[in-house]
Structure 1
Amino acid sequence: MTEQEEIPNDHQPVKDVYLLRLFVTGASPNSSRAITNLKEICETYLKDKYELEIIDVHQQPTVAEDEQIIALPMLIKKSPGQERRLIGDMSDTEKVLQGLGLQNG
């Protein structure tokens, strides 16, 4: 047995990490609620298994344009699995979990 074989592989596969992008409009009430609600959901259901990027469309309009954002706030789940888009302040936890593929409808 070589030294390399003895080293345990404790790393989770990259596919288990949820890549999320939340598009908001500045500090509007809806945007603030969406950020708060989504962070709470992620910390409760995806602890240590997500990356959340918050994008203000006023500060980064080209990113919003590239993603073809039609309504705000909008969450885009990039991975794992198929890309999914959710619109709103993320206050309906069940709906967000379904959108992320964490619960069946």
Structure 2
Amino acid sequence: MTEAATPLKLTLYVAGQTPKSVAAIRNLERMCAEHMPGRYEVEVIDLRQHPQLAREHNIVAIPTLVRSLPVPVQKIIGDLSDQEKVLVHLKVED
């Protein structure tokens, strides 16, 4: 399986419905639909509902996007509004 064919496993850590969290969710959904159709799996975790996961997963700021597959793990902090930066860090090629 080539790297391009490996689906991305993404986890977005947010804190409820704050403006930055909502923006991060919206930006991630748009980028996935436009640049990675069918090549991603996204899980959104609300740290207000599961605060223990912040420590377990080494999340120090929110929102944080974690790409766990393919390795190596990549973390991107912020609302994901800089699409070019996010795509470079995720190593997404159109």
TM-score calculated relative to the size of structure 2? 0.90
Which of structures 1 and 2 has the bigger CA Rg? Answer: 1
1:49 offset after TM fit, Å?
0.8
Distance between the aligned counterparts of 2:50 and 2:37, measured in 1? 27
Distance between the aligned counterparts of 2:55 and 2:81, measured in 1? 25
Matched, 1:39 2:29: yes
SS of alignment partner, residue 22 of structure 1: strand
Point out 4+ residue stretches in structure 1 off by more than 3 angstroms.
none
* Structure 1 unmatched ranges of 5 or more: 1-11
Partner of 2:68 in structure 1? 78
1:81 offset after TM fit, Å?
2.6
> What is the aligned length?
91
Partner of 1:96 in structure 2? 86
Distance between the aligned counterparts of 2:37 and 2:92, measured in 1? 13
* Structure 2 unmatched ranges of 5 or more: none
Distance between the aligned counterparts of 1:32 and 1:99, measured in 2? 21
Structure with the larger RCO, 1 or 2 (CA within 8 Å, 6+ apart): 2
SS of alignment partner, residue 52 of structure 2: helix
User: What's the C-alpha RMSD, in Å, of the aligned pairs?
Assistant: 1.5
